[in-house]
Amino acid sequence: MSSLCQDEKKDLIVRLRRIEGQVRGLQRMIEEDQYCVDVLTQVVAVRGALKKVGLNVLDNHTHGCVQKVIKCENEEDNQIVIDELMGVLAKFAD
């Protein structure tokens, strides 16, 4: 189940295409033997952009999917969705 509306999906796709362009730029920089610090700066920019996309999806998931399950008050489903959310948050902490 996805909690993303069409506008949010469009925004995320635009962001991901921009990130794709940044990654292609990184490839070119490597091919052209660009200065290491410049390459690393771009790597940090790509990581930051991906993190923002991930946090956006996580926010929508929490306020959409997780919230819907918790409102149903099924204790077993609540525990499953909370455990799943905590697993995702743990991955983001790295």
Domain range spanning residue 80? 6-93
pLDDT at 1 over 60: no
pLDDT at 3: 66
Confidence of residue 2 (pLDDT cuts 50, 70, 90): low
Q: What is the pLDDT of residues 7-59, one digit of tens each?
A: 889 999 999 999 999 999 999 999 999 999 999 999 999 999 999 999 999 99
- CATH (domain of 88): 1.20.58.1000
pLDDT at 5: 82
How many domains, in total, are found in the chain? 1
DSSP, res 65: I
The structure tokens listed for 24 are 């292609």
Is residue 89 within 8 A of residue 74, CB to CB? The reply is no
**Is residue 32 included in any domain, yes or no?**
yes
Q: What is the pTM of this model?
A: 0.81
CA distance 48 to 53: 9
**Is residue 49 included in any domain, yes or no?**
yes
* Residue type at 21 in one-letter notation: G
More confident residue, 25 or 76: 25
CA distance 41 to 49: 13
